[in-house]
Amino acid sequence: MDFPELDALRALADAERAAQMEAYHKVGRVYLGVANPPIDELARLWREALDLPGRLDLAARLWESDIHEARVAAAKLLTQARIRPDAAVWELIAGWVPQFDGWAIADHVMGAAGRRLQADPARLDQVEIWLDDPNPWVRRAALVGTLPWTRLRNPKPEELAQRERLLGWLERLAHDRDSSIQKAIGGWLRDLSKHDPQRVRDWLDAHGARLKPVARSEAGRWLKRMGRG
């Protein structure tokens, strides 16, 4: 089957780098050994050349190839702040989440997902279900996808309420011993501490003892740097 976009990725392949990536990620799929900047550039060109249905079709086909770089490119193809209408984009992204098996692809996908969640926070109801999923990468996705709420500089009342809801999610997962979850909680709180340090201190005072030391340390890293720990 003719697939010029996948051919473009394969043309950038680096066998030595691919072997290093496979050893690092420890997930059994094809690696081409392509760095992120060239993937960014290809995704940009494809976005400019295609309408939304075309981008959705291409993203789905790239994902189905199960090639590492193609899945990364699929996520980048849909990473835009403004997409209207975006229901089909959200449906495609959410459909990928159950297939997560590592952090690298998952983080690229959830970067795209975060923009769709900000565009329609009602989707948080769907994401909240992921907190109880047996797959730790799905549980982690709920935290990574909501990172935009940690970066709000002047949150509106409804955004503050949403953020409090998300802090409740962290409380629910604080007992989760999976290292990827613990690191995600620590990173979420670290990012929030840059904009609302007191809220993070309050959360850690109430729930920090339930976290692994590595998560507590990461959560308080910025507070210590700023002399607020």
CA of 145: how far to CAs of 42, 93, 166, in Å? 24, 11, 11
Torsion angles phi and psi, residue 67, rounded to 5: -95, 135
Q: Residue 55 falls within a domain, yes or no?
A: yes
Q: State the 10-residue block means of pLDDT for the chain, 229 residues long.
A: 92 98 95 98 96 97 98 97 94 98 97 98 98 98 98 96 98 97 98 97 98 97 78
Write the CB contacts of 127 (distance below 8 Å, at least 6 apart in sequence).
117, 141, 142, 145, 146
| pLDDT of amino acid 209 | 97
Q: Residue 219 falls within a domain, yes or no?
A: no
Q: Residue 69 falls within a domain, yes or no?
A: yes
| pLDDT of amino acid 81 | 84
Q: Residue 207 falls within a domain, yes or no?
A: no
Q: Residue 16 falls within a domain, yes or no?
A: yes
Residue type at position 33: G
Provide the 3-class DSSP secondary structure of residue 30: strand
Q: What is the distance between the alpha carbons of residues 127 and 28, in angstroms, rounded to a whole number?
A: 27
For residue 40, the enclosing domain spans 1-77
Output the pTM of the full model: 0.94
Domain count, the chain: 1
Q: Residue 25 falls within a domain, yes or no?
A: yes
Q: Residue 117 falls within a domain, yes or no?
A: no
| pLDDT of amino acid 1 | 61
| pLDDT of amino acid 225 | 83
Q: What is the distance between the alpha carbons of residues 66 and 30, in angstroms, rounded to a whole number?
A: 7
| pLDDT of amino acid 105 | 98
Q: Where is 60: in which H helix or E strand?
A: helix 52-64
| pLDDT of amino acid 227 | 73
Residue type at position 48: E
Asked whether the bond before 85 is cis by omega within 30 degrees of 0, the reply is: yes
Q: Residue 92 falls within a domain, yes or no?
A: no
Torsion angles phi and psi, residue 146, rounded to 5: -105, 10
Residue type at position 162: Q
* Other C-beta atoms lying within 10 Å of the C-beta of residue 24: 10
Among 161, 159, 158, 149, residue whose Cα is nearest residue 191 = 149
